[in-house]
Amino acid sequence: MTEEPRQRRIEIPSDVADEAGVPEDLQSDVDDLEYFVPNTLRRRKIGKVYLVLAVLIGLVIVLTDLPVLMGLVPGLLLVLGVHHHLAGWDLVVREQRALDSANRHVEFPVGHASATVNFEGWRARPVWNVLVFSAEDPPTKRGLVRLDGITGNIMEAYVEDIPAADAVEAG
């Protein structure tokens, strides 16, 4: 029985990582750490805090006869509170679903892939940017697939061939 070739990856021996003081979450031999992108719905909580503070400060200004210019503080807090409430999207599409959708969308078998969430527009709508590479070693194709973080719809995709290393060196 032949053993399948192992994919090349960056590996740091445990003793070297310990000696260099590499944090545990960056060590390559630690596979059980979970990483997740927090849900942006949390923004609504701080938005409510801003709104309550705006009302309380506004009442203090009115009841204590403070200068009218002090009204800028609750006004600013009111604007911030409304913005945070409107920008508090429920991130329905999680990282694994974004990776799976991108893998199904491109027309080549995917080897390595990476997903990051980005925020677009004044309401900070979440968008997943998934970078995919073909399964060959070294990869011959790469692509970027952008997915809406709320609906999961593919917004756009770009795929290109990766030039061979010898062609790049000759050019």
The number of folded domains in the chain is: 2
Pair (61, 123) in one structural domain: no
pLDDT on residue 5: 47
Residue 8 resides in a domain: no
Same domain, 97 and 82: no
CA distance 20 to 36: 26
Judge contact between 28 and 12, C-beta under 8 A.
Answer: yes
Tell me, what CATH number does 114's domain have? 3.10.450.40
**Same domain (yes/no): 55, 112:** no
Q: What is the pLDDT along the chain (171 residues), one digit of tens a residue?
A: 455 444 444 566 677 777 777 676 555 554 555 567 788 888 999 999 999 999 999 999 888 888 878 889 999 999 999 999 999 988 898 888 998 999 999 988 888 888 999 999 998 899 999 999 988 888 889 999 999 999 999 999 999 988 875 544 545
Dihedral over Cα of 84, 90, 94, 98: its sign = negative
Give the pLDDT score at 27. Answer: 53
Are 162 and 113 in a shared domain? Answer: yes
Residues 105 and 60 occupy one common structural domain: no
Q: Are residues 82 and 95 in the same domain?
A: no
Instruction: Give the per-residue pLDDT at 12.
Output: 62
Q: Are residues 70 and 107 in the same domain?
A: no
Domain end, chosen from 86, 119, 148, is at 86
Record the tokens describing residue 125, joined without a space.
Answer: 């709508």
**Rounded to an integer, what distance in angstroms lies between the CA atom of residue 71 and that of residue 93?**
40
Q: Verify that 155 and 99 share a domain, yes or no.
A: yes
pLDDT for the residue numbered 8: 47
Question: Is there a single domain that holds both residue 98 and residue 132?
Answer: yes
DSSP letter string over 4-30? PPPPP-----HHHHHHHT--GGG-TT-
User: Among residues 76, 77, 84, which one has the least CA distance to residue 124?
Assistant: 84
Are residues 114 and 164 both part of a single domain? yes
Q: Tell me the two tokens of residue 171.
A: 């050019």
**124, part of any domain:** yes
Final residue of a domain: which of 86, 101, 116? 86
pLDDT for residue 11: 60
Regarding whether 98 and 122 lie in a shared domain, the answer is yes
Q: How is 94-123 classified by DSSP, letter by letter?
A: -HHHHHHHHHHHSSS-EEEEEEEEEEETTT
Last residue of one domain, picked from the residues 53, 68, 86: 86
Distances (CA, A) of 100 to 69, 96, 103, 116, 145: 54, 6, 5, 14, 11
β-sheet with 154-161: strand ranges across: 110-120, 125-134, 141-148, 154-161
Say yes or no: 79 and 96 in one domain.
Answer: no
Domain membership of residue 19 (yes or no) is no
The residue range of the domain holding 110 is 91-170
